[in-house]
Chain A
Amino acid sequence: MAAERGAAAEALVGQVVLPGDLLLLPAHYDEDAEGERLRLSAGTAPQGQLLCGPGLRRSGAGLLVTKCGLLRHRPAGGGAYWVDSQQKRYVPVKGDHVIGIVTAKAGDVFRLDVGGSEPASLSYLAFEGATKRNRPNVQVGDLIYGQFVVANKDMEPEMVCIDSSGKSSGMGIIGQDGFLFKVSLGLIRKLLAPKCEIIQELSQLYPFELVLGMNGRIWVKAKTVQQTLIIVNILEACEYMTAQQRKQALAKLSGN
C-alpha cells in the first residue's frame, strides 16, 4: 500500500480530521520526502515530549488519526495533540472517575455497571476506613463514584473508591436522593474544564450538588424536585444550545 503523503499537523488544528489521516509533525517535513521512517523521540521535540492524546496513534511518520472530529493542540509542556470527537458510548480508561450502578454483590466484590462492555468489579475493602469487620453499606441499585485502577481491553475493569494514599477524596457511595441521567462524553469534558461557564451560571440560580462521571453520567441533587428537574433539563439541552440561548433560558428562570 503506497504511503499517503500526510498533511502538516499544525495546519489542521481546529479542523475536522477523519480516521486514516496522517499528520506530520514539524521535525518530519523534510525527511518524509525521502521516505525515511523516523521515530518520535524526546530529542526532536522542543521541550519535553509531545503528547499524543485520544483519537490519535503514533505511526512511523507521524500521528495517525483514529477517530473523526476536530483536531486540537495545546502548546504548553512540549505540546499535545488530540481529537475532540462526539461519542456517547464509554470505553473504560484507567484513572477515569466514573459513576457506577451496583448490579450484584458477589461475595467480597460488587459488580457495577459503568456503561462499558463489561461490568466493573469493586472490592468491599476499596473504601476509606473499610476493614473486614467494618463493611460499607452498599445495596444493589446504589450509585458509586470511583476511579478505574485496571481498564484495558483484555481484562474486566476494576474500580476503587480510594486514591493512592488511602483517602476517599470525594469518592464513595453517592447519597440516596437526587437524580441520575446520561449525556454525551463531549459535554462531560466541557463541563469538567476549569471555569466552565455553564456550571458557574447554574450555580447562580440556586445551590445544588453535582457529580460528573466520565462515562457520561451526571448525578444532581437540589433542594426540591422542581429545581432538580430544571438543572437536569438545562444540562441535557446544553448539548445543542448555543451560549446565547442558554443565557436567555437562565435569565428567564432567574426572573421567575
Chain B
Amino acid sequence: MKATPLSNCERRFLLRAIQEKKRLDGRQCYDYRNIRVSFGADRGCCMVELGRTRVLAQVSCELVPPKPSRPTEGVLFFNLELSPMAAPGLEPGRQSELLVSLNRLLERCLRDSKCIETESLCVVAGEKVWQIRLDMHLLNHDGNITDAASIAGIVALCHFRRPDVSVQGEEVTVYSPEERDPVPLSIHHMPICVSFAFFHQGTYLLVDPTEREERVMDGLLVIAMNKHHEICTIQSSGVVMLLPDQILRCSKITAVKVAEITELIQKALENDQKARKEGGKFGFAESIPNQRITAFKMESAAVDTNDVEEQAGEIIAKADPPSEVFASPVLHTPGTAQIGEGIESSWGDLEESEKEEAVEEEGESEAAAFECEKVETEDTSTLRETKSDEPIVLSDSEEEEVVILEPQELPRKTRTQTSSQQENPSKKAFNKR
C-alpha cells in the first residue's frame, strides 16, 4: 500500500508551529517522548516504546566456527526489519533505502563501538565461537526508529544470558540452563543514538522527531554516545548544512539525554532482575497495560447515594400505609381485564424530563443542590401536586431512590420504566398528602 500523502495544509501548519516553537504533542524542543522498556519471559527479549514507536528486540546465540581472519573472536550479527505492520508504506521491496541506512547506522553504533567484548565469546580458538544474533522488528512507526532500535538493541544485549561453557583439554561441555545458570554477555558500555531534526535550513532544531515532523524536516543528525561522553557514531543526512557550533551544541544535548536514558535502562533491568529472583511474574503479559476504548460507552448519570438510607427511612416513616381497598377488575372480553385506570399519559412531558437529565449531568454539585431542594419539597409539597403528570415510578433498581405509590387514591397502573443507563436519578421521592 502506498503511504498516505502529506497534505499541503499539514506541512504548512507543522512548519508554522515549529517556528512558534510548538510541537504537536506539546513537548519542548529538547524533550523526549515517554520511553517504556518491557521484558519478555525469555532472556534477551525486550520491547521498547518511544511514544507510539515500538521496537521488539530478541537476542539468540549459537556455536559456529569463527571467521578465518579472526579466529579468537565471536561473531555478532545485527538485523532490523521493517514490515507493513509498522506503517502501510513499508512494503517489502519498497523501503530499501530506509532499511539499509537504518541497519548500517545500528551496526556502526553497536559493532564498531566495541561495546560487546567479542574475545569472551571464544570457546575453542579457531573452531568454535559464539555467534550472537540480535533481531529487531519495528512494530509501529511513529518516527525516530533509530533511537528506539538502539535502545532496544542494547537493552536486549544486557538482558541476555548465554549458556555456560567449560573446556577441559579437548572436551567442551555446554551446560543447559538447568545445570548451570546462564552467563551474561560482557558489555563494556551502552551506546545510545539520539536524533536531531532540522527545519527551515537549520534554524530550528527538534530532538526525537515524530513521524509527521520527519516528513517535513530538512535534515537529520544522529549522534550515538555512551554515558562516559564518548561519541560512538555520528551521521548527518538530508539537505541541511550544519555549522560546527551547532554540532557541538547537539553533542552536549546528547550527553544529557544519554545519561537520562541510561539511568532508565538500568532501573528497568534491575526491576526485571528483582522480579525474576523473587519469583514474581514477569513477561509481556504483566507489563503491557490494557487500554479501554470509550467511544461506545454510554455514560451513566451520577447518582448521589450519600444518605439514601436516611432519606428512604424518612419517606417511609412519613408515608401513609397503602389502602386496603382494591378495585374489582372489569372484564372487557374473555381474556382481557382491567384493574383501575391508567394514569394520565405523560408523553408530552418527555422534554421536561430530558431537560432535567441535561441538568443532572454535573453529578455531585447538582446533588448538593438537590439536598436543599429535597428539604424544601417536604415543606412545600403542595407545589409538587401541580406537577401531577410526572410519572410515578415503581422501580426495582437499587440505584434509584424509593418512590411511594399514591396512598389514598386507587392504586394506579404504574409504568415501570426500564432501567436504562440514562435513567434520571433526579426522580425525587415526594410525598403527596
Contacts and interface: CB of A to CB of B under 8 A. Distances in A.
Contact of B22 (A141, A225, A239): A225
Interface string A221-256: 000011011001100001111110000000000000
Contacts of B299: 242-243
Interface stretch (A30-38, A52-60, A161-169, A179-187): A179-187
A86 B4 contact: no
B25 interface: yes
B7 A101 contact: yes
B93 to A, nearest CB: 19
| Chain A, interface residues (CB within 8 Å), range | 35 or more
Given A180-B10, A232-B24, A101 B293 contact: no
Interface in B245-297: 291-297
Top 9 closest pairs, chain A to chain B, by CB: A141-B8, A186-B295, A179-B13, A101-B7, A187-B295, A84-B296, A243-B299, A225-B17, A190-B295
A141 B17 contact: no
B9 interface: yes
Contacts, number: 81
* A113, A115, A174 — most chain B CB neighbours (10 Å): A113
A225 B24 CA distance: 10
7 contacts: A86-B295, A143-B8, A176-B12, A180-B10, A229-B17, A233-B25, A238-B294
Contacts of A242: 294, 297, 299
B13 A113 contact: no
B26 interface: yes
A79 interface: no
B210 to A, nearest CB: 12
B68 interface: no
A96 interface: no
A186 B296 CA distance: 7
Contacts of B25: 233
Is chain B's binding surface mostly helix, strand, loop or mixed? loop
Contact of A239 (B12, B16, B26, B293): B293
Contacts of B291: 240
Most buried by A among B20, B24, B295: B295
B5 interface: yes
Interface in A49-69: 69
Interface string A7-47: 00000000000000000000000000000000000000000
A142 interface: yes
| Main SS at interface, chain A | mixed
B372 interface: no
A113 B5 contact: yes
A228 B22 CA distance: 11
A178 B13 contact: yes
Contacts of B292: 240
A174 B8 CA distance: 11
B6 interface: yes
A177 interface: yes
Nearest to B14: A179
Given A177-B13, A229-B26, A115 B295 contact: no
Given A141-B11, A187-B295, A241-B294, 8 more contacts: A70-B296, A113-B5, A177-B13, A186-B293, A225-B16, A232-B24, A233-B26, A239-B295
Contact of A143 (B4, B7, B26, B297): B7
Nearest to A244: B363
A148 to B, nearest CB: 18
A86 B293 contact: yes
B26 A180 contact: no
